[in-house]
Amino acid sequence: MEFTAEQIATFLNGKIEGDAAAKVNDVSKIEEGRPGTLAFLANLKYEKYIYETEATIVLVSNDLVLEKDVKATLIRVKDAYEAFASLLDLYEQSKPKKTGISPKASIAASATTGKNLYAGDFVYIGEDVHIGDNVSLYPQVFIGDHVTIGDNTKIYPGVKVLEECQIGANCIIHAGTVIGSDGFGFALEQDSSSRRKVPQVGNVVIGNDVEIGSNVSIDRATMGSTKIGNGVKMDNLIQIAHNVEIGDNSVVIAQAGVAGSTKVGKNVILAAQAGLVGHITIGDGAIIAAQSGVNHSLKEKAIVLGSPAFDIREYRKSLAIFKQLPDLRYTLMQLEKDIKEIKDSI
């Protein structure tokens, strides 16, 4: 589809600087801009590219001050990144939608499905499953018995949703993710070094408007439910253990792991490779920096870094000292040498 700068500015409530009739039919990164494409500038680190980009139209924020003239038509908006995201969302919605049920799909007679179901090749839907309207199940998705899936949810190829689990409306689950695998529970038998598997009889409950990346594993609860709240966004390669609870609108970034029965509050950020031990509580609004190892509960809006993790301000002070350790070691060795010489001379 082709759009003019005027159409885009009208949609975004933006202001045009340049040719209102300029047309685009694709998008590009500003540093790789091509004629006929739309780009955006949100991070000032890339500002130098706006003076040389070949993109026809560039979205910029209202407060951007240009050092020299640009060739592209500019559309000024309140927030360039947010505006670009809105356009991409519009573009995504305009793309043709997958429809119909493949003859290679297997749907149990007891399952109930809503309107406009898309089920690709080799989709399996088990007994007593309840699926809402406008749900998309891409090829090789497995939906176990007694699963519930809300309206407008999209599940990409190879996802496994095991028995009894519940997924809300408007969710997106990316390829290869497993929801409802057994929690890691083993009991050490008396008078024996062997471990006996503890049956995991709970489920996973996922709220509305949740997005889960690829190859994520969310374990079912031993009893009760592992819970992912409304609006949670999860990156790829994440492990969520049994009976964990993630509060509404929290963000979990790649390779993070949360051990069993830990409760994560609302609006929490778990950065990449963060690890949380089991049976702790993370307060609302806390931020756990990348590669942090958290072994104790955190208060609301705490910001921690390190392994073991502690307050980020104290960590930065400690880091400043850590960087000086080689010089401090040299000074200490020199003092020891001087003291020894003084003792030898007495």
Q: Under a CB-based contact definition with an 8 Å cutoff, are residues 285 and 300 in contact?
A: yes
Buried b (16+ CB within 10 A) or exposed e, 130-146: ebbebbbbbbbbbbbeb
- The alpha-helical segments, DSSP class H, found in 202-311 are none
Q: In angstroms, rounded to a whole number, what is the distance separating the alpha carbons of residues 227 and 38?
A: 40
Question: Hey, how many other C-beta atoms are within 10 angstroms of the C-beta on 11?
Answer: 14
Catalytic annotation, pick one of 174, 242, 279, 296 = 242
Q: In angstroms, rounded to a whole number, what is the distance separating the alpha carbons of residues 200 and 193?
A: 22
What would the two tokens of residue 46 be?
């890339």
Residue with the two structure tokens 């051990």: 259
Residue with the two structure tokens 């340049």: 18
- Cα-Cα-Cα-Cα torsion 247, 251, 255, 259, nearest 10 degrees, comes to -10
Q: In angstroms, rounded to a whole number, what is the distance separating the alpha carbons of residues 297 and 302?
A: 10
Is 130 an active-site residue?
Answer: no
Helix (H, G, I), strand (E, B) or coil at 88: helix
Eight-class DSSP state of 143: E
Cα-Cα-Cα-Cα dihedral sign, residues 28, 30, 31, 35: positive
Q: Under a CB-based contact definition with an 8 Å cutoff, are residues 36 and 28 in contact?
A: no
Q: In angstroms, rounded to a whole number, what is the distance separating the alpha carbons of residues 146 and 143?
A: 9
Residue 338's Cβ-side half-sphere holds a number of Cα atoms within 13 Å equal to 6
Nearest one of 153, 113, 114, 115 to 137, comparing CA atoms: 153
What is the set of active-site residues?
242
